[in-house]
Structure 1
Amino acid sequence: MPRKRKQTENTHQDPSGVERRPLTPPLAPPSKKRTRTRHPSTQNPSTPTTHPHPHPQAQSPFFHLPREIRDIIYNEIFVFNQTIHIAYVGGRNRTFRSFLCKLPERDQFERTRSGTLCWRCRTVSDHYECSPKDPRNHLNVRGAPTLAEKREFRVMALLRACRRLYIETIDLLYIRNRFYIKNPRTLLELPAYTPQPRLSSIRTLYLESPPHTAAVSQEDPILKWKKVLKALEKLDGLTDLCVILQPVYGFASDIEALERPVRETKLVVQPRVIVKKLVRMAPANPTPENGVCRPNCAVNPGVSLGLLGAGTGDNR
């Protein structure tokens, strides 16, 4: 029986052993046909390009307005008459919540010149009701805003919509608004999640100290308070700082323990220090009717001395 011819993948050999040409011809080399490129201005606009316009925001009619008119619009959107509360929400998300103050301006003793209110007015000057409460624990701030809150407060949506709008408004949001931090841990966590240029843009801040009394605990709240004040040094653009000390019973030793770290901290501005006792008692001799502290005072609503007038009641 004759033997079969041996074939390889690329060559064909005959019995004589002479190697012949490959059975499969090689691929033809790529043609060197010259392609003609068009100028970007003559390309079809419907065809996507790999080099987009360097400033696509310029195509918006809004940015065709003069900067003066845009600044007027920005002030209406990003500057608020109310104080903005900032709260740190722990847990898995580790996010921050911001919400507007609900307390009337006449009841905010941090807005007065001396921080003094009569004893009846001080009973309502608390920002506890300003924060949206967690339904499971009313002592905590709700982690996520409700749908109604998202529809009402859309500043963050505007900042995320356009890069040029973000650049033109982000400093305005921090410089022109007042911020209130009720939980000291918020300020302790804020530098880890906020860029330093944003921290330096804050001009007005109201800060509450942790509750403290030597009758319950001595060192833990004070050590935490010192760390909070150390983080406060990073807000190097402040022009108005109000520190609200919270001794539980208002003892002089408790006030001194909270105020001493404030004096020792190197802050960019001299803070206004206000003392707010957590346990309040009505004095034996209340404020007389001719010594009210603000308009619509609870003692005598008919007498008005002006919002920034100093009260006669002892704030301690």
Structure 2
Amino acid sequence: MDLTPRDEQDYYRIGFWLVSKRLAFLITVIVCVASLWCIVQSFPVSLGSTEKGVPVFRYNSLPLKFYKGEAKVLAKSGYTAYIGHVDRGAAQGRGTLYTKEGNVLYKGQFSGNEYHGKGTLYRDNGTKVYAGAFDYGVRQGKGKLYNAGEELIYAGSFRNNEIVYEELAGTATEKVADRYTGQQILYEMDDAVCVAMPEIHALYSARSGEDSVDGLWETTGVYVMAEAFAAEDGKLRTVKELKEYFETLQYEGETILQFEDAAAMQQLAGPVKKKYGIETAIETEGELADARKVTGYTRNIECYIYTFEKDGFRYTFFSYAKNSGFGLYLIEKDDRAGKGEG
């Protein structure tokens, strides 16, 4: 291992430089060994390694980049991360994604390593969260939502990971009950009725169906407790974004909160409600778990709102202040849509 050159024959001449042949040889050996180690690491776990006839690859395996078919893929730390169909290094087609604890995280269709198509998403403890359609990683289309006890709480359409609450506006309350099967809290005051749906962060107001042909109760509006509105291309959180997205600004200014507004605001989480800087309270009697008779509520409370129209619906956003964010919005079906005006 003596690398000290003894005469000119022990050097390579490169231009004006003399490079020790022994040193060059040692560097070449080190590079070759390192390259061989990298190549070996990129192979399947062991050459020809299979599990129940399915080849096993490391997540960064070079052969995996050229493989198409069923495979088992190991994460960096060695646990089984994925079992299913792959195409050139990416999950493609049907497969199952696992957590490091061995629990199923997602089972269904993939495209380019993203959830795409029909699939089921699970919590860390193995209970279902959502089963239905995905569009490149987001819940999009028909699906079902489950609570922590894996009980079905909602079945309907989803847009950009969120429930399409428009499906609940201006429809029979019986249809709402078909879609939402989670916990409900009924608030009744005089002729006004509100039903809170805490497991999907929403509340709907309803009117009697006495004057309708079928006699069914109908929703008059759906309040959503959220600090973002799920549009097709993203989440909207500011008034500026809302104005750019919606077609028509119908109204902007102060309004006095009505019973339904106050009931919805009562459902807000503490930190969000605090941002409004107003105190709303609802007085009830005959307290039951799912039905409450309202005897009064805080009146003459003002809030700054923005009302827009789009695709046959009216959207009212209850802003924290002018040109600020929001934590609550109302969706109403525009009965004038398709009927003309006047």
Q: TM-score range by the shorter chain?
A: under 0.3
Tell which has more relative contact order, 1 or 2 (C-alpha 8 A, sep 6+).
1
Please identify which structure carries the higher helix content: 1
Q: Which structure has the greater CA radius of gyration?
A: 1
TM-score (norm 2): 0.25
TM-score (norm 1): 0.26
